[in-house]
Amino acid sequence: MNPESEQRAVRIQKLEALRSEGYDPFAIERYDRTHFAGSIVENAPRHMDQQVRIAGRITATRAMGKAMFLDVTDETGKIQVYVRRDDLGEQAYARVKSFDIGDIVGVGGHVFQTRTGETSIHAGEIALLAKCLRPIPMGKDVDGVKHAALTDVEVRHRHRYLDFIVNPESRDLLVKRSRLITAVRRFLDDSGFVEVETPVLQAVAGGAAARPFVTHHNALDADFKLRISLELPLKRLIVGGFPRVYEIGRVFRNEGVSPRHNPEFTLMELYQAYADLDDMMDLVERMYEAACIAVHGSPVFRARMADGHEAEIDLSARPWRRLSILDGIHEYGGVEPDDLADLSSAHRVCERFGIDPAREPSLGGIIEKLHEQCVQPHLVQPTFITDFPVETSPLAKRKPGCPHLTRRFEVYMATQELGNAFSEMNDPIEQRARFEDQVRQHALGNEEAHPMDEDFLMALEYGMPPTGGLGVGMDRLAMVLTGITSIKEVIAFPLVRPDH
């Protein structure tokens, strides 16, 4: 039997002993708290000698004969609890001495200060509310420095609840993520957008370049796909007369896992009738600033890049930089725009940068690959990259005077792509031609090419007004605004390989 199994067996015996005495912690349904640990410690003078009731998890114990100290931690922080046998009685004190680290307890007593100056609770009562049957790897304080005991990334992500127990900073990231999403939702509501919900199961999964997950509907005996985007249903609503719509929801892409990608993630998409790409830029600048203020209390934050470098970013410093994708490749890669005018010359550029042209069969794909390799690592301050190729932007309007480019931007910050926006294609004839080109690309081996969607084309034929659209990966935005370099840290339960 390994040490963890031995400890589990001992803890189960303690639980059975309590039950044999007529005390079952799992029969308790509620506990009335009057205060929180963190607020008592932070406002100690105000609470001194006050009667309080708190509840939390035991994170440390120190026994001294007829008295003992417990550290009890709740969602706000930690407080020391002083327990004396003379106050509780022999039986109750013996019960408390049997408590283990990880047990959840309720404590009633008065606040006082120890001789060493630590704010504590002198317990008049203490109740076991839930028995922890497995040992928790709690961190230790050494010379005033907190040393985490649970640092293995695989274990933290596989057993996320344990990570949240041991590492309060992991919980804090999810709280900040929640504030961010709330701020975005409030910003859009206040801007006149209507929040809607669209289907997760779709016959045609479109709106993005990604492979979908496929499932089977037994009653209909038909295959459906989990949505990879929110775009096409929301545009149907624009056709139907909704002038401003948005959705914040989960989408699913059958792709790899990386520090920037999780196959299941939260996407926000919005569409605004009678608006264009420039309106979307203005909206992004204001909305991201509001999100940053919700997280940090200020539009200024410190970003951390994957290579460890940090930079201060001020989201209120508007307007943000605008840079066309070809100008960016010229500025950071030294490639002249004329060298990317056709496929044969672009292949020669690929040789210079070690790009396999066979994996990027279209000119647009090569341009985007060069951007990713040469330009993106330099985009630390907020930047709109504009004028994307038409081959990789099947749902965007062409740029006037430059039919091979589109009215599309991606917004970058801290070297991460944090949004994608179009002046939306609303010409049903050209949209059909674009879809047909995507179908041809799929036949040539591009598994992420956009499928034909006849129902969406029918909707466009009824008339969609000029529309601006925006998509934002909320997980990645939260990652950047919280200074984290792995997207898994801002997802409550990131995807991990099944543990067999």
Question: Residue 157 CB: number of other CB atoms within 10 A?
Answer: 17
User: How would you classify the pairing of strands 383-386 and 398-399?
Assistant: unpaired
Q: How many angstroms separate the CA atoms of 292 and 312, rounded?
A: 13
* Partners of residue 271 on adjacent β-strands: 245, 469
Top-confidence residue, 127 or 210:
127
Decide: helix, strand or coil at residue 23.
coil
Confidence of residue 148 (pLDDT cuts 50, 70, 90): low
Beta strands in 138-191 (DSSP E): 140-142, 145-147
Please report whether residue 335 resides in a domain: no
Domain of residue 483, residue span? 170-320+381-490
118 and 181 part of one domain: no
Rounded Cα–Cα distance for residues 218 and 11 (Å): 46
CA angle, 311 as apex, 309 and 313 as ends, to 5°?
150
Nearest to 414 by CA among 379, 372, 374, 373: 379
Write down the mean pLDDT value for the chain.
Answer: 94
The token duo for 385 is: 């990259």
Give the HSE-up count for residue 475: Cα atoms under 13 Å, Cβ half-sphere: 23
Task: List, for residues 10-69, the tens digit of each pLDDT value.
Answer: 999 999 999 999 999 999 999 999 999 999 999 999 999 999 999 999 999 999 889 999
Contact 263, 257 (CB under 8 A): yes
| Chosen domain end from 84, 115, 136 | 136
Per-residue DSSP letter, 40: H
Q: What percent of the chain has pLDDT over 90?
A: 85
Which of residues 112, 136, 160 is at a domain's end?
136
Sheet strands (E) in 13-138: 51-64, 67-74, 77-84, 104-113, 119-130
Note whether 447 and 211 are within 8 A (CB).
yes
Q: What is the pLDDT of residues 317-367, one digit of tens each?
A: 999 999 999 999 999 999 999 999 999 899 999 999 999 888 887 899 999
Q: Token pair for residue 386?
A: 């504009």
Residue 146 lies in a domain: no
Please report which helix (H) or strand (E) contains residue 385, including its range: strand 383-386
Same domain, 401 and 278: yes
Q: Say what the pLDDT of residue 34 is.
A: 98
Q: Are residues 116 and 234 in the same domain?
A: no
Q: How many domains does the chain have?
A: 2
**How far is residue 289's CA from residue 299's CA, in Å, rounded to a whole number?**
5
Looking at residue 84, which CATH number applies to its domain?
Answer: 2.40.50.140
From 136, 162, 197, give the residue that closes a domain: 136
In a domain, 258, yes or no: yes
pLDDT above 90 for 150 = no
Query: In terms of DSSP H, where are the helices of 109-167?
Result: 153-158, 160-166
Residue 326 lies inside a defined structural domain of this protein: no
Confidence of residue 140 (pLDDT cuts 50, 70, 90): low
Same domain, 132 and 174: no
CA distance 339 to 76: 59
Residue 182, in any domain of the structure: yes
In a domain, 153, yes or no: no
Residue predicted with more confidence, 415 or 257: 415
Does 281 share its domain with 392?
yes
CATH of the domain at 264: 3.30.930.10
Q: 3 or 121: which carries more pLDDT confidence?
A: 121
- 281-299 pLDDT, tens digit per residue, is 999 999 999 999 999 999 9
**3-state SS assignment for residue 135:** coil
pLDDT of residue 151: 83
Task: Tell me the two tokens of residue 194.
Answer: 């209507």
Amino acid at 470: L
The per-type count for the chain, helices as H runs and strands as E runs, is: 16, 22
Has residue 14 been placed in a domain?
A: yes
Q: Does 99 lie in the same domain as 198?
A: no
Would you say residue 191 lies in a domain? yes
Report the distance separating Cα 326 and Cα 338, nearest Å.
10
Give the CB-side neighbour count of residue 329, counting CA atoms within 13 A.
Answer: 24
Q: Please report the beta strands in 387-478, taking only residues with DSSP state E, as ranges in sequence order.
A: 398-399, 402-406, 408-413, 416-423, 467-473
Which of these, 459, 421, 375, 455, lies nearest to 202 by C-alpha position? 455
Please give the average per-residue pLDDT across 126-154, as a whole number: 78
Model confidence at 193: pLDDT above 70: yes
- The C-alpha atoms of residue 317 and residue 86 are separated, in whole angstroms, by 63
Q: Output the pLDDT for position 500.
A: 67
Mean pLDDT value of segment 65-86? 96
Percent of the chain with pLDDT strictly greater than 70? 98
Looking at the fold, whether 123 and 221 belong to one and the same domain comes out as no
Query: Which pLDDT does position 142 carry in this prediction?
Result: 47
Name the nearest CA neighbour of 438 among 422, 419, 421, 457: 457
Q: 299 with 416, same domain?
A: yes
